[in-house]
Amino acid sequence: MPDVEYRPHADDAADPGEIVWAWVPYDEDDGRGKDRPVLVIGRRGPMLLGLMLSSQDHDRDAADEARHGRIWTDIGTGSWDARRRPSEVRLDRLLELAPGDVRREGAALDRARFDRVVAEARRVQGW
């Protein structure tokens, strides 16, 4: 079970509740991936736990996404996206990231949205 707690701090370290940028491998895990925003939700030992974000609207293809096991939730806009596009968080895939592999360039998500996302991820992933 992940150690999940909202605790963003204005320092140089990535903290739960913050949206950071990191390299995220594609689902195929074939060595390819994409640099993308990630909501840090907690820790497991020294590793950060996160959920990736997307600015694509998965609501219009929700049935196809669900068929492939991908479940998304809307979180709205924030300063993590320079163009202020609405974002979604992927709930079914928990990422483990080394703290040195993330760049703290994003923003802190407010407590209410963080709590909602974590509750939905717990339900989806069963932890």
For residue range 28-82, list pLDDT tens digits in order: 878 899 999 999 999 999 999 999 999 988 887 878 888 889 999 999 999 888 8
Residues in the chain: 127
Instruction: Give mean pLDDT, residues 91-116.
Output: 92
CA distances from 21 to 11, 18, 51, 62, 106 (A): 16, 10, 11, 25, 7
Output the pLDDT for position 118: 97
Query: Would the pTM count as exceeding 0.85?
Result: yes
DSSP SS3 for 15? coil
Output the pLDDT for position 83: 93
Output the pLDDT for position 33: 92
Output the pLDDT for position 30: 83
With a CB cutoff of 8 Å and minimum separation 6, the contacts of 60 are: none
Confidence of residue 11 (pLDDT cuts 50, 70, 90): confident
Q: What is the CA radius of gyration of the chain?
A: 14
Q: Is the pLDDT of residue 88 over 90?
A: yes
Q: Pull the structure tokens for residue 72.
A: 């998304």
pLDDT-above-70 percentage for the chain: 98
How many Å apart are CA 78 and CA 97, to the nearest integer? 22
How many Å apart are CA 49 and CA 104, to the nearest integer? 14
| Type and span of the H or E element at 38 | strand 33-44
Which amino acid is present at 116? R
Residue with the larger pLDDT of the pair 11 and 78: 78
